[in-house]
Amino acid sequence: MPIVTPLTKLLGIRVPIVQGGMQWVGIPQLVAAVSEAGGLGILTALTQPSPDALRTAIRETRKLTSKPFGVNLTLLPAIQQPDYAGYARAAVEEGVTIFETAGNNPGPLIEYFKKNNCIVIHKCTTIRHAKSAERLGVDVLSIDGFECAGHPGEEDIGGLVLLARAAQELRVPYIASGGIAEGRGFAAALALGAAGINLGTRFMCTVESPIHENIKKKIVESTEQDTIHILRTLHNTARVYKNKVAEEVVEIERKPGGAHFPDIQPLVAGVRGRKVYELGDPEYGIWTAGIAMGLIKDIPTCKELIDRLEREAAEVASSLAGAVKAKL
């Protein structure tokens, strides 16, 4: 039985599963595979070196799938700010109509997308930020619990409470992000009022994911205890894989007086994280990973994964319905 929610209706997708925009990972081959399998693939704009390169990536994705897909734009602190407006304009001019936004001060981007009749999914880690984005006119909110990879915010609220609070407070549909990798989590998110789920780490560990096979195997071998938070003292917390580089960053942060960004900049440089995915050495640099690693036991195709998640979630829902009937 298909899982039909406000998200599937709004986006024109078969299954309410969104592939999160991941730096160096959200490229055409993965995006198209997710969309072809019935979910929503998301191209990561800032993986591309320029707006023109994003245009090329959008065209490449269209050659691989006729299904809907979106583009992610994440606004984060940077010494040299990317050309966010240029990336946004390039994607809109290429006919993209679905966008995932995240980060600080998304108002101008959201306004631009809405003026161009686009659908906006905005990622938040707090209910107050979600309500602010709601006022800006976003169509869907992605609620990131403390379990998520990357930036979980600074308030450390787990998904169980955060999603239930979203049900109490929000008017627009929302999807659950963080800590989900199998059907039980999918069903739980729907039970908590979500219209779908957002998967990052789980999609990293698929056949079509562009990262090195060694990193995929490392994810399978890892547990929920193999992540660590860095940049906490700089109020830019990130959950990453626990390796020697990440532990060195934390040690610097623990020194009297804390850390200054120049002290750790060479360790957290994005280029080192990219090399991890290219070379397959999990110790080479910082790379994002969520505690959902503890739930990941294989490397399926995107179609196998999405079909499995859909089937498992339906089985859980059916089991719960049977339990309720039995008691009645």
SS3 147: coil
The count of structural domains within the chain is 2
In a domain, 247, yes or no: yes
Q: Which residues contact 99 (CB under 8 A, 6 or more apart)?
A: 70, 71, 72, 73, 88, 91, 109, 113, 118, 119, 120, 121
Same domain, 141 and 89: yes
Task: Write down the pTM of the prediction.
Answer: 0.96
DSSP notation for 101-134 = EEES--HHHHHHHHHTT-EEEEEESSHHHHHHHH
The reply to whether 328 falls in a domain is no
Residue range 57-62: mean pLDDT, rounded: 98
CA–CA separation, 252 and 255 (whole Å): 5
pLDDT per position as a tens digit, 43-54 = 999 999 999 999
Which of the two residues, 143 and 270, has the higher pLDDT score? Answer: 143
- For range 236-251, the mean pLDDT: 97
* Beta carbons of 84 and 109 less than 8 angstroms apart: yes
In a domain, 1, yes or no: no
CB neighbours of 158 closer than 8 A, spacing ≥ 6?
A: 145, 146, 147
Query: Looking at 100-104, 147-151, 258-262, which range is the least confident one?
Result: 258-262
Domain assignment present for residue 196? The answer is yes
| Residue 101, amino acid | T
Does one domain contain both 86 and 158?
yes
Task: Identify the H or E element spanning 176.
Answer: strand 174-177
For residue 238, list its beta bridge partners. 230
Is residue 19 over pLDDT 80?
yes
Residue 98 has, within 13 A of its CA and on its CB side, a CA count of 24
Q: For residue 33, is pLDDT > 90?
A: yes
pLDDT given for residue 34 in this prediction: 99
- In a domain? residue 169: yes
What does the alpha-carbon distance between residue 114 and residue 222 come to, in Å, rounded to a whole number?
41
pLDDT tier for residue 163 given thresholds of 50, 70 and 90: very high
Question: Do residues 166 and 80 both lie within one domain?
Answer: yes
Q: How many Cβ atoms from other residues are within 10 Å of residue 14's Cβ?
A: 18
Strand partners, 239: 150, 229
Residues 82 and 203 placed together within one structural domain of the fold: yes
- 305 within some domain: yes
- Is 58:91 a contact under the CB 8 Å cutoff? yes
Q: Are residues 117 and 181 in the same domain?
A: yes
- The answer to whether residues 238 and 303 belong to one domain is no
Please give the residue range of the domain that contains residue 263: 227-288
**pLDDT tens per residue, range 282-316:** 999 999 999 999 999 999 999 999 999 999 999 99
Residues 249, 189 share a domain:
no
DSSP per residue over 6-34, as a string? HHHHHHT-SS-EEE---TTT--HHHHHHH
CATH number, position 145: 3.20.20.70
Q: Are 99 and 123 in contact (CB under 8 A)?
A: no
Residue 219 in any domain: the answer is no
pLDDT for 313-327, tens place per residue? Answer: 999 999 998 888 766
- In a shared domain, residues 54 and 171: yes
Asked if 79 and 207 sit in the same domain, the reply is yes
Task: Output the six-digit token pair for 318.
Answer: 């059916």
β-pairing, 98-103 vs 119-124, is: parallel
Do 41 and 190 lie in one domain? The reply is yes
Q: Are residues 24 and 171 in the same domain?
A: yes
Do 189 and 165 belong together in one domain? yes
Residue in the structure block whose two tokens are 């602190």:
77
Q: Is residue 67 part of a domain?
A: yes
